[in-house]
Structure 1
Amino acid sequence: MKFLPLIFIFFFTAGHAQKIQPDTSFSVYSTYIKEKKKRPYISIAQPLTKGNFKTTSNIFYANTPTGNLSLDVVYPKHSKHLLPAVLFVFGGGWRSGNRSQNIPLAQKMAQNGYVAITTDYRLSTHAQFPAAVFDLKNTIRWIKANAKKFNIDTNKIIITGFSAGGQLAALVGTTNNDEQFEKEKINRHSSTVQAVIDVDGVLAFDHPESSEVSTDPNRKSVAAIWLGSELKDNPDLWHNASALNHANQHTVPMLFINSSTPRFHAGRDDLIAKVKPFGIYTEVHTLLDTPHPFWLFNPWLEQVSSLMINFLDQQFKNQAAVQLK
């Protein structure tokens, strides 16, 4: 099998290169080794080496107090129409992972008539909530500022995330025009999105189904590290970081793709019930007998990409995206 490259992250502060060792608490390969013992048929979903798409990599989009942030754009080779854009948010407990994890799915999107963007955001190793939310909203602003270059329809921006990235995607999508999250702007463009795809990301931290509170008094949970406080010490903070508590009549259509483990979709059903009276479209697919990071592996990559594309085609059926195969 092929091994994924080891990625080192460099940040620049005060004009000097500062190497921050990546947190490796989550990696695709270590998860593969663990899950293969239970499911010997799985394999890591690898990026395509060629296809009907182009890739522009390592584009700087923002400077933060802890360094530069970059993104990659994967887009169809040929299109005469403006296309929807899909922003991918990787997972890893808000402290680990990297944007390369989503390249295989981004390539699937590009081959089906969507522009896909994989992005960096600040992790809890060097910035706490809501820094990551500011970064993702700035990525959306960058997308809109560079729409002409990549043939993007700025009225059709979708954010999708996985695990911790799913939590972030849902929070971004339920806080359109919320001033408390509209800080550190890199330009004057709007950060609004028109749809959300949440893949196994929690919708509420302070929820009976959630297990984000550590049961070990000597050990903080990854959520507490990212939020900078335990739930008992600052419940309002945990409440504010939960998409469920921001959902209202302005919430955009949402697709949920889940494993069968309830804790990874804590608050989902409550959110759906909350927006249903407003006629907001939601869709749920639960993939049985799947490991939590199923989207990173075969045989589930094709199923996840198909569910995403079907949802997006339905929501943006008036757009002229033609499948490019």
Structure 2
Amino acid sequence: MPSRLILLAIVMPAVAFLLVPVSASAQLSQSAAWASYLDNEYRVVPDVTYHVANNVENKVDLYLPQNASGPTPVYMYIHGGGWRGGSKERYFLRALPYLEMGWAVVNVQYRLRHVSRAPAAVEDCLCALHWVKSNAEEYNFDTSRIVVGGNSAGGHLSLTTGMIPSSSGLDLGCEVKDELGVAAIINWYGITDVGDLVQGENEKSYAVEWMGSLSDRLDVARRVSPLSYVREGLPPIFTIHGTADPTVPYRHAVRLHDALTEAGVSNELHTVPGGLHGRFTRDEMETIYAQIHHFLARHGLIDVAATTEGE
């Protein structure tokens, strides 16, 4: 049976679709309530600055196990919102399955469209990864077990964070630098070909707005597209996508899966028949979390005997 934390992670994001938008302060209050619930097991360090750009301090919230016997695996969570909305506070509940397993969680905020257009969000998340690795000793992070994940635009940013090499030049503005690279990527219905959404039959306003009026927007779209970085030697990638997703076409997941498989990269595509943009049923979510757990265990990232997601 799923634990209380897992059930919260499954039920609450679905309920959120039925709610009116809430203020940032209300989101923070909700996040603080869950932080209080976890207080016996975790030390919460909110709003740590990892990067400054456009005079904006990009911040992370840290959830650190209180009684870890050694360096802890890290789940680096990147929220969605079409690169134009969302916040780390609003989507905190999505990290609960990893807290249940005793992992450290790094909950990432990045520059949204109204602050800076593409490729700013990609650059920020690469800087967040550099920051995690550079501060591993202070926060007891196990840099050999960093898993990055996110939903929608956050799925896209998780892919770029885990796939883009330093040679791309997209991390040149980071204040601290370490080797890029993660142990695995969990991609919840993320965009894999940004150019496909900028023009043509699949054009989406959120992608057009993120590119803006750049004369070289198609080149920029290519530079920030995960499909541009498929190659041998990438970390294992687990993708979840619904076949009826109206926001990010299911074909994005299929193309990524096929390209990764051809390149010899270990990856799995979990297809949700008739699934929309993340609005999955409780049963579907339980199955997904269980499969993620098995995926991580298969790649040596969790102890098989550890508390499981969805079991």
Q: Could you tell me the TM-score, scaled by structure 1's length?
A: 0.75
Aligned: 1:244 with 2:227: yes
Deviation, structure 1 residue 214: 7.4
Identify the residue that residue 176 of structure 2 maps to in structure 1.
187
Deviation, structure 1 residue 301: 5.3
Change in Cα spacing, 1:220 to 1:204, as seen in structure 2 (3 Å) is closer
Q: What residue ranges of structure 2 are gaps of 5+ in the alignment? A: 1-12, 21-29
Check whether the contact 2:162–2:235 (CA below 8 A) recurs between aligned residues. Answer: yes
Return the letter of the residue paired with 1:171: T
Deviation, structure 1 residue 227: 1.7
Identify the residue that residue 16 of structure 1 maps to in structure 2.
none
Check whether the contact 1:48–1:104 (CA below 8 A) recurs between aligned residues. Answer: no
Identify the residue that residue 27 of structure 2 maps to in structure 1.
none
Change in Cα spacing, 1:228 to 1:179, as seen in structure 2 (3 Å) is same
Identify the residue that residue 235 of structure 1 maps to in structure 2.
218
Q: CA RMSD in A?
A: 3.4
Identify the residue that residue 274 of structure 1 maps to in structure 2.
259
Q: What residue ranges of structure 1 are gaps of 5+ in the alignment? A: 1-26, 35-43
Within 2, Cα distance between the matches of 1:318 and 1:324? 9
- 1:128-174 deviation per Cα after TM superposition (whole angstroms, max 9, x unaligned): 11111111111111111221233211122221111011111112222
More helix by share: 2
Within 1, Cα distance between the matches of 2:275 and 2:88? 22
Identify the residue that residue 307 of structure 2 maps to in structure 1.
323
Identify the residue that residue 47 of structure 2 maps to in structure 1.
58
Within 2, Cα distance between the matches of 1:275 and 1:291? 24
DSSP 3-state at the match of 2:239: strand
Within 1, Cα distance between the matches of 2:123 and 2:45? 23
Aligned: 1:32 with 2:18: yes
Within 2, Cα distance between the matches of 1:189 and 1:151? 16
Change in Cα spacing, 1:287 to 1:171, as seen in structure 2 (3 Å) is same
Check whether the contact 1:244–1:268 (CA below 8 A) recurs between aligned residues. Answer: no
Identify the residue that residue 152 of structure 2 maps to in structure 1.
163
Change in Cα spacing, 1:47 to 1:28, as seen in structure 2 (3 Å) is farther
1:303-314 correspondence runs (5 A): 303-314=287-298
Identify the residue that residue 64 of structure 2 maps to in structure 1.
75
- 1:245-285 deviation per Cα after TM superposition (whole angstroms, max 9, x unaligned): 21111322100011222544443322322232443110111
Check whether the contact 2:111–2:120 (CA below 8 A) recurs between aligned residues. Answer: yes
DSSP 3-state at the match of 2:52: strand
User: Number of paired residues?
Assistant: 283
Which of 245, 265, 269 is residue 284 of structure 1 equivalent to?
Answer: 269
Change in Cα spacing, 1:268 to 1:293, as seen in structure 2 (3 Å) is closer
Deviation, structure 1 residue 292: 1.2
Change in Cα spacing, 1:321 to 1:98, as seen in structure 2 (3 Å) is farther
Check whether the contact 1:138–1:191 (CA below 8 A) recurs between aligned residues. Answer: no
Check whether the contact 1:163–1:199 (CA below 8 A) recurs between aligned residues. Answer: yes
Q: Could you tell me the TM-score, scaled by structure 2's length?
A: 0.78
Aligned: 1:129 with 2:112: no
1:197-236 correspondence runs (5 A): 197-207=186-196, 211-213=197-199, 221-229=205-213, 234-236=217-219
Return the letter of the residue paired with 1:170: L
Within 2, Cα distance between the matches of 1:265 and 1:271? 10
Which of 274, 293, 300 is residue 278 of structure 2 equivalent to?
Answer: 293
Return the letter of the residue paired with 1:31: F
Aligned: 1:260 with 2:247: no
Deviation, structure 1 residue 48: 6.9
DSSP 3-state at the match of 2:128: helix
Identity among equivalent pairs (%): 22
Change in Cα spacing, 1:82 to 1:313, as seen in structure 2 (3 Å) is farther
DSSP 3-state at the match of 1:71: strand
Check whether the contact 1:74–1:107 (CA below 8 A) recurs between aligned residues. Answer: no
Identify the residue that residue 140 of structure 1 maps to in structure 2.
129
Check whether the contact 1:109–1:305 (CA below 8 A) recurs between aligned residues. Answer: no
Change in Cα spacing, 1:224 to 1:28, as seen in structure 2 (3 Å) is farther
